[in-house]
Amino acid sequence: MAKRAEHVAPKIGSQFEKKYRGKQYVLTVISEGGQTMFRLGKSSYRSPSAAAKTITGGEVNGWKFWSID
């Protein structure tokens, strides 16, 4: 079994921009119910990968997609 990489969430309020297929997206790190979440538009996600998946339509490493690290 492969070891899962652990990432440290960026600070609340951090924003990451990505241009994908001609459209600009902004991911914002928020605190929701005491948990770090990632807001894309009006939706909140538990990980940057989940947010990226809604854009690409497929599995993607969100940490790399958004250039977080």
Is 6 part of any domain?
no
φ, ψ of residue 43 in degrees (nearest 5): -105, 150
Instruction: Give the separation between CA 14 and CA 50, rounded to whole angstroms.
Output: 17
Is 9 part of any domain?
no
pLDDT in tens, 15-55: 999 999 999 999 999 999 999 999 999 999 999 999 999 99
Q: pTM for this one?
A: 0.87
Is 56 part of any domain?
yes
pLDDT of residue 67: 95
Is 4 part of any domain?
no
pLDDT of residue 7: 79
pLDDT of residue 3: 54
Is 29 part of any domain?
yes
Residue 2 scores a pLDDT above 60? no
Number of folded domains that form the chain: 1
Is 57 part of any domain?
yes
* Domain range for 32: 15-65
Is 2 part of any domain?
no
pLDDT of residue 4: 58
